[in-house]
Structure formats: structure tokens, C-alpha cells
Amino acid sequence: MKKIFGTSLLLAGMTVLAQTKEDSIQFNRISTEILNNGKGYSELKELTKNIGNRLSGSEAYEKSVQWAEQKLRDAGADKVWLQEVMIPVWVRGRESLHIRTSKGSWKNIKMLSLGNSEGTGGKDISGEIIMVKSLDEYEKLPTEKVKDKIVFFNYPFNQEHVQTFIAYREAGAYRRTAASLTAKKGGKFAIIRSLSSAFDDVPHTGNMRYQENSAKVPAITIGNTSADELETLLQQQKIIAKLNSNCGMKGEKLSHSVIGEITGKKDQEVIVVGGHLDSWDVGEGAHDDGAGIVQSIEVLRTFKKLGIQNNHTIRAVCFANEENGTKGGKQYGKTAKENSEKHLFAIESDAGGFSPRGISLEMDDIKRNQIKSWGKLFLPYGVYNFEGKYSGSDIAPLHEMGVPAAELVPDPQRYFDIHHTAEDTFEKVNRRELLLGSAVMTQLIYMIDKNW
């Protein structure tokens, strides 16, 4: 009995080794196929150069829907369809910010209204700027000091975080709340220092929201150089600002997320890989999130091209309206629930098309540890970090329904130089870095499809 038991253990051990070898070969096939023949980079060029930026509700977004539909078909998806989503429509229009000293002449400052902010309705709004360095400092200001003023929230992006997303989250509190905080004390509008790791004058837009019952005063952002200059000026003298903007919400509109899938051979349980098809209305939405879109489509293409027989249905989802509403993600979750679709796993790529370094896992410890146990397979592809416990905003509704969720973790050093700016262009994306991200997502989905 002892001997038989020993032999069984040995056989079990050999099976594990053989499995690992087989997986390692499959990982290599996937990476080789994508690095040699990947379509993601040329597809990203089409999306960014032929269509460009594509805010929800824009004509460009609708073009990108048609484009994504075609690319999913080209990738060999068995089924491609559009999922209806009601999305908010926010429009920027003309806008400008000028400042002057008490006796000086007006100077134009590069700026962007924050997404979802109301504007000045095309009229000039002007007043004296007051500056605060933190939310704490603002809270301590008596209402009379803020009333009729323009509040400059001059909170800098903290360069010392190696993980730039931490700095982004910290500074993000200002972007989200500045307008309502300003309104609450009677201020005219809010200026925030951009959430930017770059030492330049490029303003970074991004979503803001008004608190319930808040007066909808405008919120705008300026680049780091302008913020530095304004800071220096304000330490010396009184500064008047004048804003003229036409942005604002223009109701809702019917639009679409785009979905393609390759059907499971064993069952119809769904594995989701996705990114968001919309972008802000500046730049080309290349890293954010054209990268995630083409990487997700590449996953399907690679399964088909290599003839990997997927047990479960693998679905690439190009979500609508992540930037200023996440309506696409919410609708996807709602529809899955209504149709009682079972989802096995979901992964999102929405942190830029940079070299992959890890996979963040939002799931129970049993599943997390199983994925971690595959870590050695990923190491040759530069992926070593499985410690994150978050996933992405578009698959959050799925996760809330109990679906294990994940996010691709690329190198975070360059992202916040160009995030939500005119500089987020195709030229900032490296072919090999982008393709490696697709390879890693394909490898992970191969493992989950095989083992779950």
C-alpha cells in the first residue's frame, strides 16, 4: 500500500510537471504569435489616427463603435453585437481663462474644463483668486473669505510615490470635489492644479461631479507650469481671473458598447476581457484606453489563430462611457444579471499600454492563491506582481455580482505624464510594450479557461 501510495504521488508529481511544461509551451506560443504577428499596434494606429478622440456622445465615438465591430469580426469572433446603453452627453465648446494683476493686462492661461463641469454659458465670470494647498486648509477658510472668489486648489501630484496611481488617487479628491466645495462657500468657480507627473504646461482633464443640491459652478484645470507661475504670483499680489466657457451636460443619448465572443466548447460560462472604447475629448485616447481595446481584441484573435480550443466563452467587451459615467460597465452587469448569464472571470486593461508587470486580483483567497501559484509561468514575460487587490471600473458591476475580477498592471511611471491630455497620442505607445500586455492577458485567460 505504501509503495502504491508512493507511486501515485510520483505519478501525480509527474502529471503536475507535464502540465507545467505544456502550459509553459502554450505561454510561449501565445507570446511568440503576438510579438511576431500581433495586430494591436496597427489597429491602435487606425483607432487613434483615423478616428481620434471619442468622447461619449460624439460622432467620433459612434465611428469607433463601427470600427470595433469590424475589428472583432476580423479577429475571428463567432458572434459580434452592440449592447444598447444610455449615456450622458457632455460637450466642451470654446473656453478660455485669463488672469491679470490689479493693474496689469490680461494673460491667457492654457486650461481645460473638467469633464461633466458646467461652464459660464459663454459669459465672462471674473473675480479674485484665493489659493489653498490642501482640502484641510480649504475647510478652515471662513465662508466670507471664499464668497465671490475663485478658489485655486493648488495640490501637487506627489512625485515620491513609486506607484503613481497612489499619487493620482490622492490628487483625484481635488478634481472630484473642488467645484461643490467652492460652491458651498459661495465661490465663483474652482481651478485645480492638474493631476500630472510631468513638469510641463499640459492640462489634464478628467471627471468631476457635483454633490447633491450643489450649485453647479465651473471647475477647470491648469498645467503644472501655469500652476507654479500662478502660485508665485499669488504670493506677491492680488490676481484676478476671468473664465469664459461653454461646456455642459446636454442630456442623454442612446449609444452602444461593442461585444465579440468566441463560443466555449464545453459550456457557455463567460470570461470577459475588456477596456473602454470612449476617451476624453483631447488627444487621441491612445493609452487611455485605445490600448485596452486593441489588447482585448487581440486575445480573441490569438485564441483563434493558434487554434486553442476554449472551454468557456471568451468575450471581448469594448465598454461605452467609462470616462464620464461608466454607463457601459453598469449596463453590461445589468444585462448579464437579467439574462442570468454566468460569468467565470473578468479582466480589464485600463492603466495604459505599457510593459506589463503584474495582474491585480479582486477575488477570494482560494482563487487568488491559485493564480499566484501560476506565477512562475508569467515570470519570463516580466509579470511578477500579483499583490494588487483591485480590478477595473467597468467590471466593478460584475465583481459586485460575485465574479472574480482582475486588472492588468502595466509599468506606471509614464502614465500620468499624458493621462487625459492632448499628449495621449499613438506616438506615446510602444509596439512591444502594448503587445506584451495582450500576451499576458491571453496567457491568463488560457489558464483560467483550462483550470476553472
Sequence-distant (6+) residues with CB within 8 A of 427 are: none
Which of 265, 257, 329 shows the shortest CA–CA distance to 303?
A: 265
From 30-38, 95-103, 257-265, 361-369, span contacting its own copies (CB under 8 A): 30-38
Quick one: which of 381, 386, 426, 446 contacts its own copies (CB under 8 A)?
Answer: 381
1 counts as binding its own copies under rule CB under 8 A: no
From 91-99, 154-162, 184-192, 312-320, span contacting its own copies (CB under 8 A): 154-162
Quick one: which of 7, 32, 134, 211 contacts its own copies (CB under 8 A)?
Answer: 32
Sequence-distant (6+) residues with CB within 8 A of 134 are: 155
Quick one: which of 128, 337, 411, 452 contacts its own copies (CB under 8 A)?
Answer: 411
- C-alpha–C-alpha distance, residues 377 and 24, integer Å: 6
In the block, which residue shows the cell 465583481?
Answer: 399
- The cell numbers describing 223, all together, are 498645467
From 31-39, 73-81, 107-115, 280-288, span contacting its own copies (CB under 8 A): 31-39
Nearer to its own copies among residue 160 and residue 212 (C-beta): 160
382 counts as binding its own copies under rule CB under 8 A: yes
Is-contact 87 56, C-beta < 8 A?
Answer: yes
Nearer to its own copies among residue 288 and residue 433 (C-beta): 433
From 84-92, 124-132, 288-296, 432-440, span contacting its own copies (CB under 8 A): 432-440
Q: Where are the alpha helices (DSSP H) in 247-384?
A: 291-306, 327-338, 365-373, 375-378
Phi-psi domain of 42 (left: phi exceeds 0; alpha: psi -120 through 50; beta: other): alpha
Phi and psi (nearest 5°) for 406? -150, 165
- The cell numbers describing 12, all together, are 501525480
196 counts as binding its own copies under rule CB under 8 A: no
User: In angstroms, what is the minimal distance from the CB of 415 to its own copies?
Assistant: 10
How many residues belong to the site for its own copies (CB under 8 A)? 27
225 counts as binding its own copies under rule CB under 8 A: no
- C-alpha–C-alpha distance, residues 380 and 383, integer Å: 7
- The cell numbers describing 384, all together, are 511578477
- Spell out, one character per residue from 36 to 65, where the chain touches its own copies: x when CB under 8 A holds, - when not: x-----------------------------
Continuous segment of H or E residues that includes residue 83? strand 79-91
143 counts as binding its own copies under rule CB under 8 A: no
436 counts as binding its own copies under rule CB under 8 A: yes
199 counts as binding its own copies under rule CB under 8 A: yes
- The cell numbers describing 121, all together, are 454659458
Binding residues vs its own copies (CB under 8 A)? 31-32, 35-36, 159-160, 162, 164, 197-199, 355, 357, 380-382, 384-385, 411, 413-414, 417, 430-433, 436
